Chains A and B, each alone.
Chain A
Amino acid sequence: MNLLRFYGDHAREAFGLLGQHLVLVGASTFLAVLIGVPLGVLLTRRPAWRGPVLGLANVFQTIPSLALFGFLIPLPFLGGIGARTAIVALVVYALLPIVRNTYVGISGVDPAVREAGRGMGMTDGQLLTMVEIPLGLGVIFAGVRVATVVGVGTATIAAAIGAGGLGVYIFRGVSTVDDTLILAGALPAAILALIADGLLGLIERRLAR
């Protein structure tokens, strides 16, 4: 009830923060796909890099967000305060599922199919775009889905570095011990995560077919 009244009084602000949140998640997931998918493909071509690269992505995931922000603030280009730094951090957190699933999706393609492609005289690039990626797409997309859903939750930490988003309500609520405020941020973030999961799940099932 308190919560509804709160939204009634702060509708503009709440929608603004929701919008910022969507931009943060969208931009960071998009960039993570741009970086993560080629990286995952590269790992299938250079198996020796698999351990170090996945290990590093794993380590990135364990860095607490405030510590990561602390490291990022002094960096030129990537760092500072505001949305850019927050997106860099979110990309770092989103990389692991995307890289790993791309690698798994492509290396899971039936070797016989790959051989058939080679036999037809396909180059490595053709094999990748015409055989491996289409066949691995379901698994790759599952990684993107995980990254997005996790990202919706993780993006609440962007508020710690002045990037806004629904985390603003959570941080304000925590600092003033106001449960309504905490819920005002946490509840829409949870709903958003469920919606994103549902929608991406639908697409994933299409792709897997």
Chain B
Amino acid sequence: MTGGLSVSRTVGRLSAVVLALFGGACSHRDRIVIGAKNFTESDFLAELLAQQIERRTGLPVERRLHLGGTYVCHEAITSGKIDLYVEYTGTAYTEILKHPPIADADSVYRADSLEYAKTLGLTWGRPLGFNNTFAITVRRADAEKYGLRTISDVARIAPRLRAGFGYEFLQRADGFGGLARAYGLRFAAPPTAMDLGLTYRALAQGNVDLIAGNSTDGTIQALDLVALEDDRHYFPPYDAAPVMRTELVTRHPEVARALAELAGKLSAAEMRRLNLAADVEHRDIAALAREWLAKNLP
């Protein structure tokens, strides 16, 4: 009996401490915390949103960049450790909401917004304007030699090619298995599973002939590679858009208004250029964001 009581008392005390920690954070915070996943584009977008919020609302924004993958950011925002981050519609649809992939961008966005609002207390902002989809990528020399423009073109000569993919692409519901079925892809050998970052180098060096990168990666341009068109629309849309805690939107509607100004303003070509500037030319993302805002949203 006493044991049970003391356990429940300990639990009570612990939750009080936890509450105090969170409550403390909440009460003096008109500080907004923005998160990002662990790659350059996500960091840049978080910085861009942070600067836009700061200059339009005057509210201080704390940056928690490079947090980890989709899962980590999702946990952080649902538990209130961060107030917003940039998510991709297709990723939320397949990875978080666990739906089988579909191709229509509007349906995906609508389903995401609805279910996030209903079950998670999260609000989707308008998409920023670009789709960072998987990019089936080959060397320019091969694209020219075999006349490759679409993934269907590759399916014809796939038995002559070696593929290398990151582990995530090999495992995801909207990854390699479905792609191979959708296009009837048969490679010379099963694709080599390797680190995603190394696939670019392996492709450029000719160790593999085909990889799955991200369509907004600056390295595609830098290494003279060609991203092929997904002509059968296998990949769901991955439109980047801010995801915010609904509580933040209610408390500070001006934040949502500031972010709405960014809707549709950032094209895929522009995002590729920015990634290239950050990754290959090692430019500072804060400076890049400042320049972009000054030029596009004066």
A and B pair up = yes
A interface residues, Cβ below 8 angstroms from B = 66, 69-70, 73-74, 79-82, 159-162, 168, 171-172, 174-177
CB-CB under 8 A for A73 and B202, given A80-B207, A172-B171, A176-B168: yes
Q: Which residues of B contact A79 (CB under 8 A)?
A: 205
Selected contact of B194 from candidates A74, A161, A174, A177, CB within 8 Å: A161
A69 touching B195, Cβ below 8 Å: yes
Q: Given A69-B195, A159-B193, do A175 and B164 touch, yes or no (CB 8 Å)?
A: no
Q: Name the A residues within 8 Å of B194 (CB-CB).
A: 81, 159-162
Residues on A with beta carbons closer than 8 Å to the beta carbon of B168? 175-176
CA gap between A177 and B96 in the complex, in Å: 12
A177 to B202: give the CA distance in the assembly, Å.
26
With A175-B166, A176-B171: A162-B205 Cβ-Cβ less than 8 Å: no
Output the residue of A69, A73, A74 with the most chain B CB within 10 A.
A73
Residues of A within 8 A of B195 (CB): 66, 69, 160-161, 171
Task: State whether A175 touches B167 (Cβ < 8 A).
Answer: yes
Could you list 25 examples of A-B contacts with CB < 8 Å? A66-B195, A70-B197, A70-B201, A73-B201, A73-B205, A73-B207, A79-B205, A80-B205, A81-B194, A81-B202, A81-B207, A82-B192, A159-B194, A160-B194, A160-B198, A161-B194, A161-B198, A162-B192, A168-B193, A171-B167, A171-B193, A172-B167, A174-B167, A175-B69, A175-B168
**A171 CB → nearest B CB, Å:** 4
Q: Which of B170, B198, B208 lies in contact with A70, CB distance below 8 A?
A: B198
Instruction: Chain A residues near B207: list those with CB within 8 A.
Output: 73, 80-81
Contacts of A80 in B (CB 8 A): 205, 207
- Contact for A81 among B164, B170, B172, CB less than 8 A: B164
Question: When the two chains form their complex, are residues B198 and A66 in contact, meaning their CB atoms are under 8 A apart?
Answer: yes
Residues of chain A lying within 8 A (CB to CB) of residue B167: 159, 168, 171-172, 174-176
Residue on B with the closest CB to A159? B193
Measured between alpha carbons, how far is A74 from B198 in the docked complex, in Å?
11
Known contacts A168-B193, A172-B167; is A177 also within 8 Å of B201 by CB? no
Hey, which chain A residues are within 8 Å of B170, CB to CB?
172
Q: Which 7 A-B pairs have the closest CB atoms?
A: A162-B192, A175-B168, A160-B195, A175-B167, A162-B194, A177-B71, A171-B167
Which residue of chain B has its CB nearest to the CB of A66? Answer: B195
Q: Is A177's CB under 8 angstroms from B208's CB?
A: no
The complex places the Cα of A172 from the Cα of B69 at a distance, in Å, of: 13
CA distance A108 to B33 in the complex (A): 59
**Cα-based distance from A65 to B10 in the complex (angstroms):** 45
Q: Beta-carbon contacts of B41-71 to A below 8 Å, as 1s and 0s?
A: 0000000000000000000000000000101
Of listed B168, B172, B202, residue having the most chain A CB within 10 A: B202
Cα A70 to Cα B205 with chains together (Å): 11
B69 & A162 in contact (Cβ 8 Å cutoff): no
Distance of B72 from chain A, by nearest CB (Å) = 8
A69 to B207, CA, bound (A): 13
Interface string of B193-216 (1 = CB under 8 A from A): 111011001100101100000000
Closest chain-A Cβ to B65's Cβ sits at a distance in Å of 20
Q: Which residues of B contact A73 (CB under 8 A)?
A: 198, 201-202, 205, 207
Residues on A with beta carbons closer than 8 Å to the beta carbon of B71: 177
Find chain A residues with CB under 8 A from B192 CB: 81-82, 162
A69 contacts across to B, CB distance below 8 A? 195, 198
Chain B 168-194 interface residues, beta-carbon cutoff 8 Å to A: 168, 170-172, 192-194
Q: How far is the CB of A184 from chain B (nearest CB, A)?
A: 14
**B77: shortest Cβ distance to chain A, in Å?**
16
Quick one: closest B residue to A82, CB to CB?
A: B192
Instruction: Identify which of A80, A168, A171, A172 gathers the most chain B CB atoms within 10 Å of its CB.
Output: A171
Q: A81-B192, A176-B171 are in contact. Are A66 and B197 (CB under 8 A)?
A: yes
